[in-house]
Amino acid sequence: MGNSEDRKSHTAAGGDEALVSIIVPVYHAKEYIAQTIRCVEEQTFHGWELILVDDCGGDGSLELMQELREASSCRDQIRIVKNAKNLGAAESRNHGVREARGRYIAFLDADDVWLPTKLEEQLLFMRQKGIGFSFTSYEFGDEEATPTGRVVHVPSRLDFRHALSRTVIFTSTVMFDTRIVPKAQIQMPDMASEDTALWWTILKTGVVAHGLDRVLAIYRRPPHSLSSNKWNAVKRFWHLLRNVAGCHTMPAIFHLIAWAFRATSRRIG
């Protein structure tokens, strides 16, 4: 890992055009946020800014983030912004996007972890192919974010039609090039499964998402997580198909069955 001066000179030399803005919504994340910040500090690509969006959790996360920032050799690259009130994950990410100074936007959830080469590899992938929307493979982790060996591989490309039967795009792996997908389009709706709703909305415009089949993130899965409630997941996906994708009943049933099959295979594979 380079030192603070290396990072500042790299960022200054490239300016906003070379900068990756990393958006992290923070709510009741005191237990995890130190590890998440550290995984950004340890990136082999140094031209980043980390935007931590405090969502008024009141659990001490804000105070801890302030302490960690002050102690960091990368403190000039870490920004803490505060919501005026609790707004939820979607609007917290939107707040972060509006604050972003970089050409590239990357999402990272406060309880997930990146591998050290994540930004470097994904940026190279996007620049070589002229990609505006990319995502990567990931691995499930336990409550400590220790990899479990359960890997989710991703397709090389995903258009709107094929996205409707799978939720393979994991938020903490997504990166946008705002020259191709403008910031105004990178705004999540205030609804359940807001991340999938955003991906579909962007894909609906004709943009294609490109997958980098490299495990570059760890998805922390604590017991009793929201995504572990299968019935709620089914209801959320049905709502997406009907109200975001605009599917009629029979196509929606087809996509729901295909999604359920893939989701089950992913969890037991």
Most confident of 1-10, 150-159, 232-241: 150-159
Q: Each residue of 115-135: pLDDT tens digit?
A: 999 999 999 999 999 999 999
Q: Where are the domains of the chain?
A: 4-226
Per-residue model confidence (pLDDT) at position 264: 64
In three-state form (DSSP H/G/I as H, E/B as E, the rest C), the secondary structure along 44-113 is CCCCEEEEEEECCCCCCHHHHHHHHHHHCCCHHHEEEEECCCCCCHHHHHHHHHHHCCCCEEEECCCCCE
For the residues 133-142, what does the mean pLDDT come to?
A: 97
pTM: 0.86
- Angle (nearest 5°) at CA 104 between 99 and 110: 65
Give the pLDDT band (50/70/90) at residue 223.
low
Per-residue model confidence (pLDDT) at position 13: 37
Per-residue model confidence (pLDDT) at position 213: 98
Q: What whole-number distance in Å separates Cα of residue 181 and Cα of residue 74?
A: 28
Q: Each residue of 49-74: pLDDT tens digit?
A: 999 999 999 999 999 999 999 999 99
Q: Higher model confidence: residue 257 or residue 95?
A: 95
Give the DSSP per-residue string, 183-244.
GGG----SSTTHHHHHHHHHHTTT--EEEEEEEEEEEE--TT-GGG-HHHHHHHHHHIIIII
Per-residue model confidence (pLDDT) at position 5: 42
222 φ, ψ (degrees, to nearest 5): -65, 155
CATH number for region 4-226? 3.90.550.10
Per-residue model confidence (pLDDT) at position 226: 46
Q: What whole-number distance in Å separates Cα of residue 91 and Cα of residue 87?
A: 6
- The fraction of the chain above a pLDDT of 90, given in percent, is 72
Q: Higher model confidence: residue 20 or residue 9?
A: 20
DSSP letter at 253? Answer: H
- The fraction of the chain above a pLDDT of 70, given in percent, is 89
Helix (H) or strand (E) holding 12: helix 4-14
Q: What whole-number distance in Å separates Cα of residue 145 and Cα of residue 111?
A: 8
Q: Each residue of 11-53: pLDDT tens digit?
A: 433 348 889 999 999 999 999 999 999 999 999 999 999 999 9
Dihedral sign (CA 130, 189, 16, 75) = negative
Other C-beta atoms closer than 10 Å to the C-beta of 58 total: 11
Q: Each residue of 147-193: pLDDT tens digit?
A: 999 999 999 999 999 999 888 999 999 999 999 999 999 999 988 89
Q: What whole-number distance in Å separates Cα of residue 64 and Cα of residue 40?
A: 16
Residue 259 CA neighbour count, 13 Å, CB half: 25
Q: Please give the single-letter amino acid code of residue 166.
A: R
Give the pLDDT band (50/70/90) at residue 266.
low
Per-residue model confidence (pLDDT) at position 225: 52
Per-chain mean pLDDT for the chain: 89
Per-residue model confidence (pLDDT) at position 182: 97
Q: Higher model confidence: residue 260 or residue 261?
A: 260
CB-CB contact of 118 with 92 (8 Å): no
